[in-house]
Amino acid sequence: MAADISGLTRREQDILRLIADGRTNQEIADQLVVSVNTVQTHVAHILKKLGVRSRHQAADVWVQRNH
Q: What CA–CA distance (Å, rounded) separates 38 from 34?
A: 6
Q: What is the pLDDT of residue 2?
A: 54
Spell out the per-residue pLDDT of the chain, length 67, in tens: 457 889 999 999 999 999 999 999 999 999 999 999 999 999 999 999 999 999 999 999 999 988 7
* Domains in the chain with CATH codes: 8-65 (1.10.10.10)
Largest Cα span, the chain? 32
CB environment 5-37: b (16+ within 10 A), e (fewer):
beebeeebeebbbbbbeebebeebbeeeeeeee
Q: What is the pLDDT of residue 63?
A: 92
H/E stretch holding 44 reads helix 36-50
